[in-house]
Structure 1
Amino acid sequence: MKPLKEFTIPFVGLKIGKHQFNFDIKETFFEHFEYEDFNSVKVKADVILEKKSTLLELNFKISGFVNINCDLTNEPYDQIIENDFNLVVNFGDEYNDENIDILILPHGTYEISIQQYIYELIVLAVPIKRVHPGVEDGTLDSDILEKLEELSPGLKEKNEQNEDDIDPRWNTLKKLLTDK
């Protein structure tokens, strides 16, 4: 995958110390990754790069919302997301990203692409089960929800069972408890 230029940070000319980078993430960012689960995206990514003499420390913080469809009703809603991640970039003989928190870049590298880290932070911040807030508090009026309630195996039916439906052997056992 070709890296996006706006998410590539050239660190060679930066002074030792902290440097802040801000990115506004929109739907076009996810088109690059061919990820189509989001209807719309408005996320702000703040990256603080701390350059030290032998390594780099990156601190990612994302916040905003993604518009997704509810798993129960398929109604779109805005899901607020927040996430953060720390990455240490060290330098070695060859590229190595096997460790989740440490990235090793070859000596002589002058820039780092952070698009994959931002993508993963946003996607992983979305809950696995996507439930519209209106479903949880009962304010969402949806035909699908009404149909789900109608077709669900009812708890009402269990409560409406008469004691006559109980196996008569249990009644005999109940007498043993009361005959003491």
Structure 2
Amino acid sequence: MKLLKEFTIPFVGLKIGKHHFEYAIKQAFFEHFEYEDFNDVNINVNLEFEKKSTLLELHFKITGWVNINCDITNEPYNQIIENDFVLVVKFGDEYNDENIDILIVPHGTYEVNIQQYIYELSVLAVPIKRVHPGIEDGTLNSEILEKLEALSPKEQNENKEKKEEIDPRWNTLKKLLTDK
């Protein structure tokens, strides 16, 4: 995958200390990753980049919304997302990204690309079950919801009555439990 230039931070020229970067993520970013679950995107990324003498600390914080389809009705809606992540970049003999929150880059590296981390933070911030807020509060009028309601199994009063009736033989056994 081709690296996007705007997400590459050349840290060699930065002074030791904290630096702030902001990114506005739109739909084109996810099209670059060939991710098609989002209809539209408006995400803000705040990155606090702290350069230390032996390592780098990156504090990601994303906020915004993604337009996705509901799992129940397939109606599009805006899902609010929020996520944060801390990445430590260390220097070593060879590149190693096996640990989730530690990235080891070879000595002599002068820049780090953060696009993959932004992508993963955004995708993982979306809930597993995507339910339109109109379903939860009852304001969504949809043909699919009406059809689901019509096809859902109805509780039968006969089964309730059978559960409420207790076989009289059990009453004697219950009496034994209370006699202790």
Shared fold by TM > 0.5? yes
For structure 1, the residue ranges without an aligned partner over 5 or more in a row are none
* CA RMSD in angstroms, aligned pairs only: 2.2
- 2:105, 2:169 → 1: CA distance? 75
Which residue pairs with 2:49 in the alignment? 49
For structure 2, the residue ranges without an aligned partner over 5 or more in a row are 176-180
Which residue pairs with 2:143 in the alignment? 143
Per-residue CA distance 1:76-133 (angstroms, 9 max, x = gap): 0000000000000000000000111110000010100000000000000000000000
Measured after TM superposition, the shift of residue 170 of structure 1 is 5.1
Equivalent AA in structure 2 for residue 80 of structure 1: I
Which residue pairs with 1:77 in the alignment? 77
| SS of residue in 1 equivalent to 2:158 | coil
Equivalent AA in structure 1 for residue 169 of structure 2: L
Which residue pairs with 1:123 in the alignment? 123
Residues 94-113 of structure 1 correspond to what in structure 2 (within 5 A)? 94-113=94-113
Which residue pairs with 1:38 in the alignment? 38
Aligned with 1:173 (options 144, 169, 172):
169
Residues 84-99 of structure 1 correspond to what in structure 2 (within 5 A)? 84-99=84-99
| SS of residue in 2 equivalent to 1:21 | strand
Runs of 4+ in 1 over 3 A off after TM superposition: 169-179
- 2:93, 2:159 → 1: CA distance? 77
Measured after TM superposition, the shift of residue 176 of structure 1 is 5.1
Which residue pairs with 1:132 in the alignment? 132
Equivalent AA in structure 1 for residue 29 of structure 2: F
| SS of residue in 2 equivalent to 1:3 | coil
- 2:110, 2:162 → 1: CA distance? 77
Measured after TM superposition, the shift of residue 173 of structure 1 is 3.3
Which residue pairs with 1:18 in the alignment? 18
Give the paired residue count: 175
Scaled by the length of structure 2, what TM-score is found?
0.90
Equivalent AA in structure 2 for residue 120 of structure 1: E
Scaled by the length of structure 1, what TM-score is found?
0.90
| SS of residue in 2 equivalent to 1:161 | helix
